[in-house]
Amino acid sequence: MTFDEYQKKATTTSTIDPKSITAPYYFALGLNGEAGEIAEKMKKIIRNHDNDITKLDLDDFKKELGDVLWYVSMMSSQVGLSLEDVAATNLAKLADRKVRGVIKSTGDNR
């Protein structure tokens, strides 16, 4: 499945009217919440399992990562971006930073 195929299918599962004035905010808040759930799971690996990443419930973690992907997809749709293009643009940006030796630097536009 391509990112664009995923994006098209993901939009069919939303119960939020994409034309609603609140839709982009709903998806942004959902993305933040799901990213927070990922962070919580990692925090619990530190707290409860002495940093042993092998204790991570991979099935559960995969579902949470999928939720993050869904919200990224919905946000992309809201602003008229192709998820495929978002992914390709990100990889190109990171490859450029690596070539220029600034991937470990600070700032958004390096």
The domain covering 3-100 belongs, at the CATH homologous superfamily level, to MazG-like (1.10.287.1080)
Query: Which pTM value belongs to this model?
Result: 0.89
Domain locations in the chain?
Answer: 3-100
Q: List the structure tokens of 35.
A: 């990213």
Q: What is the pLDDT of residues 20-31, one digit of tens each?
A: 999 999 999 999
Q: What is the pLDDT of residues 62-83, one digit of tens each?
A: 999 999 999 999 999 999 999 9
What single-letter amino acid sits at 73? S
